[in-house]
Chains A and B, each alone.
Chain A
Amino acid sequence: MVEPVRIRGDFERAVIGAIEAGLPLVARPYADIAERLGVDEERVIETLAVLQREGAIRRMGVIVRHHELGYRANGMVVWDVPDDEVGRIGRLFGDAPFVTLSYRRPRRPPQWRYNLFTMIHGRTRAHVVEMVERLAGMVPDRSFPHEILFSGRRFKQRGARYAGGAVVSPPQRTGDRALTRRETK
């Protein structure tokens, strides 16, 4: 397993904490954050620019909820592919325009046999099933055991938060807006 890059110091942690739930929707969002942190706007932007240059920020922009736009069928397709072929097949499936994620994950026998995960968002389940058949057909004369796990209720959906601290036991109630972490002080 890869060791993560440590967040460098309290200031960087505070900036990440301030932006994790999204930019404030005001004309100068970084000035707004800077004011809360008691620094100037330029320092906030520079801190984020460093994180972006280093690859810690994968993308920056409008984060859309597909479900609300009619993409009601979210299928996580799990495949059991021979380990020496999973790279080739994972890339092949990932190139399909309707696949939004293609990841290798560990098998956990006997409970879990699948080592390749692809995500497909479709407007209907039938549409997703059709796309899965197209994927399966991309490797001629072979068939890989697979299952489609459609999503049901969404109990929680937001971006990962890294600035938070050492709490292990769950607090009574966390709103997604409860953002300010005590330990950033």
Chain B
Amino acid sequence: MNDEFALSALEQYLVNDFQRDLPLVPRPFKHIADTLGIGEDEVLDMLRRLKAGGVVSRVGPVFTPNHLGVSTLAAIAVPPKDLTRVAALVGRYPEVNHNYERDHRYNLWFVIAARDHEHLGKVIDDIASRTALPVLELPMLEAYFIDLGFRIDFGSDHG
């Protein structure tokens, strides 16, 4: 695969070693810079480049699901010819974050986050009524393992 975004060795460290535990201090990027032994400006430049290249979506918090608000995974079985249109409609809700196609009869999967169950229910009802399709609601009941960052294997054969 040649269309991958190429990362320098320093950028690989930046991507792998700072996915969590960024300290809440006035100059967090200086903390990263000091750890990597480079300048704060260099860290900021690298992050801007990685963000522009789409490798880094942001630097910031991941909120715990169902803590500050409520969220649910949802799916719709969309007739394939309508998928682009329905996906665009669903994606326009500010409450919807991830919105993916998956290769299944249930081919549109998305996560809805809202401040409370009432609001969440309204969004789901609204989506169901605007798309005229039933929405499968699959809230998390129990987390056995949650993502605390994910180590990118830069060294292996990409096969």
Contacts and interface: CB of A to CB of B under 8 A. Distances in A.
B130 to A, nearest CB: 8
Interface of A: 1-7, 16, 19-23, 25-31, 41, 45, 48-49, 51-52, 55-66, 68-72, 76, 86-87, 90-91, 93-95, 99-106, 108, 111-112, 117, 119, 121, 123-124, 127, 147, 149-162, 164-174
B81 interface: no
Interface string B30-54: 1000000000100010011001011
A68 B148 contact: no
A68 B101 contact: no
A160 B61 contact: no
Given A7-B68, A22-B58, A64-B152, A174 B92 contact: yes
28 contacts: A7-B115, A22-B58, A27-B44, A29-B29, A56-B68, A57-B63, A60-B62, A61-B21, A61-B149, A69-B55, A70-B158, A87-B142, A94-B144, A103-B144, A104-B141, A111-B136, A150-B102, A151-B102, A155-B99, A156-B98, A159-B63, A162-B69, A162-B114, A164-B94, A170-B92, A171-B92, A172-B92, A174-B92
A94 B145 CA distance: 5
A65 to B, nearest CB: 5
A180 to B, nearest CB: 12
B44 A26 contact: yes
Contacts of A124: 159
Nearest to A47: B24
Interface of B: 1, 4-5, 7, 14-15, 18-22, 24-30, 40, 44, 47-48, 51, 53-71, 73, 87-104, 106-107, 109-111, 113-117, 119, 122-123, 126, 130, 134, 136-150, 152, 158-159
B72 to A, nearest CB: 9
B26 to A, nearest CB: 6
A5 B106 CA distance: 32
Top 8 A-B residue pairs of the complex, sorted by shortest distance between their CB atoms: A22-B58, A94-B145, A152-B101, A90-B144, A160-B113, A170-B92, A156-B99, A59-B20
A106 B74 CA distance: 11
A183 to B, nearest CB: 11
B138 A112 contact: yes
Given A59-B148, A157-B99, 17 more contacts: A1-B117, A1-B139, A6-B115, A25-B44, A56-B64, A57-B62, A59-B19, A59-B21, A59-B149, A65-B55, A104-B141, A105-B139, A150-B102, A151-B101, A153-B100, A156-B91, A158-B57
Contacts, number: 297
Contact of A155 (B20, B27, B55, B101): B101
A76 B106 CA distance: 12
B153 to A, nearest CB: 8
A148 B99 CA distance: 17
